[in-house]
Amino acid sequence: MFKSSNFDKLLDKATSNLRLDPDWPTILQICDLIRQNDCSPKYAVASVKKKLYSQNPHQAMFALLTLESIVKNCGSGVHDEVTSKGFCEMLRDLVKTTQHENLRNKILELIQAWAFAFRNTPKYRAVQDTVNILKAEGYKFPALKESDAMFSADTAPEWADGEVCHRCRVAFSLIVRRHHCRACGQVFCQQCSSKTSTLPKFGIEKEVRVCDACYDKVSRPPTS
């Protein structure tokens, strides 16, 4: 798991208890790793979650700021992780148990912003449920800043399933292996996805597999 150890190093750096202010460049590097699929959202969120329980208030706050950034920048893979019942219960538990007022307020701010951002996504309802429970328990939420709930970052599409190549319809088998285009997320045979490209619009700076159609699109000179 080389890639995740690279992630671990960056996360330790971003949440170092020797710091007094957030290490934004490192936090953004962490986002890039996740956006490029160099670290799985599940592994990333689980690692940040551990840091939230640090006794050092700076370290816990930096972990929270890292969590806020990966939710804003890394798309649905991360959203699936932070909106699970278990993760929401963990945040609710932290709100109740933390000794630090600023940490509690930051968690309340995040849960409220996510509930607003995911208000039209039924599968993420655990977040709104958590807001409702905390309100019923008397916690005061800060005023919602809608800007906090805008996740504008463009992220690569989820990979489609499929038994045949999306382009030439050949059936996958032990011989005809399945591959995915990182630009459209569709599934292809080797012949139809033999090219690579960077995908800066998704924060992918390294060469990744793309299908012929996406290759033509991304390598066509921008129309002047």
Ligand X SMILES: O=P(O)(O)O[C@@H]1[C@H](O)[C@H](OP(=O)(O)O)[C@@H](O)[C@H](O)[C@H]1O
The residues binding Zn ion (CB under 5 A) are: 165, 167-168, 181, 183-184, 189, 192, 211, 214
As measured in angstroms, the least distance from the Cβ of 65 to ligand X is 32
| Residue 167, binding choice from Zn ion, ligand X, none, Cβ under 5 to 8 Å by partner class | Zn ion
Q: Is 148 exposed, middle or buried (0-12, 13-18, 19+ CB in 10 A)?
A: middle
As measured in angstroms, the least distance from the Cβ of 159 to ligand X is 6
Quick note: the x/- pattern for ligand X over 199-218, rule CB under 6 A, is ----------x---------
Q: Is 167 in the site for ligand X (CB under 6 A)?
A: no
* Alpha carbon distance 106, 67 (integer Å): 11
Q: Is 195 in the site for ligand X (CB under 6 A)?
A: no
As measured in angstroms, the least distance from the Cβ of 53 to ligand X is 34
In the complex with Zn ion, which residue's Cβ is closer, 48 or 184?
Answer: 184
Applying CB under 6 A, which of residues 178, 194, 198, 213 lies at the interface with ligand X? 178
Q: Is 179 in the site for ligand X (CB under 6 A)?
A: yes
What's phi and psi for 179, nearest 5 deg?
Answer: -140, 160
111 neighbors 71 (Cβ within 8 angstroms): no
In the complex with Zn ion, which residue's Cβ is closer, 72 or 166?
Answer: 166
Count other C-beta atoms under 10 Å from residue 10's C-beta: 21
**Size of interface with ligand X, in residues (CB under 6 A):** 5
Q: Which residues of 66-87 are buried (b: 16+ CB within 10 A; e: fewer)?
A: bbbbbbbbbbebbbbbbbeeeb
What's phi and psi for 195, nearest 5 deg?
Answer: -100, 165
165 neighbors 188 (Cβ within 8 angstroms): yes
Applying CB under 6 A, which of residues 123, 140, 177, 220 lies at the interface with ligand X? 177
- With vertex at residue 111, the alpha carbon angle to CA 110 and CA 117, rounded to the nearest 5 degrees, is 85
The residues binding ligand X (CB under 6 A) are 177-180, 209
